[in-house]
Structure 1
């Protein structure tokens, strides 16, 4: 038993030390790059054989007005989440806009099926708890790729957990209905990514690096509300 334990510890140490060079060569801000690339590859394979075919079938079979209504419902739920982040960032104007959007679209838009607020000029706040943490000075931390969910940062990972606690879809009491809504939202989100995917496939020699750069730049822009960083 003692010999087996020693051999096991030796093997683990060898693997860790052997991987140190790979981690040392990781890009700045991405210290877990070897692991992240493995998860990225897994996600890409899983998407290729499952998510993408389902999304393509949905996109081809469902009429555009129905797809638009489904997207609007989930967008309305996102606007409701955004109200909390608006308040935590003390952004009164954005909170008023998001609250107005939810009230108008939920009542007159039949539960959010119809987006009546946008034609009225009421813009989305588009805030989340990850942005809220960044607003109050918490750095993004290391870049991470989450199995099935894709790119994130340490800060956004905490934000996602918090957002999940106030997600209107996750708060639906009926388990079958809640699971159906979550599945529909995944498919709707995947369909919305088709244009970005086509751009990435055309422009990127390294899809992982392209995704990482695009994600981090977009998140920084959202945290800063589109303003340039002070150091620039």
Structure 2
């Protein structure tokens, strides 16, 4: 019996070859699309990261700016509050302590004097003929004179003492820790001499005089109001004596 010949391997038909080629192309296209999608994801993540970083930087800048502005606003408000508090305790024209601040310092000085067994002196200063100055030269000139007088008075006393504007052309000077009445006499003499020096006000030369009344703590009273009233009364006695003089409440002859 003869052997049967082997059948040759089957070859793909043209149709199968075309289908295989199409399938291969689809696979390559899918792979390419997958690569594109992966790159798109990477690009998106990079863009998101950059935008997020930029957003964070921008937010931080706004936060820092807002914090700085808030601090600036707080400092401005604090300064305005301090200025308002100072203004409420200072005379607007001369910048001297007003009655509110004087009474506050008076209370502290009285408390200290009680602890130390020391004296205080209050000088009530009234400029002589100030109304005539105002009427002759005008109120603006009068304000300049008051400012000048304030500087003269403040420059004559110690830092621990208080010069305040009582109103109009009247000033109060609180001398802290006065050992004896003669200390107040020396200050009154210096005040009168300083005011009497020739001064230029708007190119006009003038000399000022003042009448001064003096009261002592605790000799003439134990409260600020009592000492002010008695120094005021002593000032009027000094004014009757003549311009540029002073008088104590308890002893009119002391001047």
Q: Same fold (TM over 0.5)?
A: no
Larger radius of gyration: 2
- Structure 2 length-normalised TM: 0.29
Between structures 1 and 2, the one with greater helix share: 1
Superposition TM-score, scaled by structure 1 size:
0.31
Q: Which fold has the larger relative contact order, with Cα–Cα distance below 8 Å and residues 6 or more apart in sequence?
A: 1
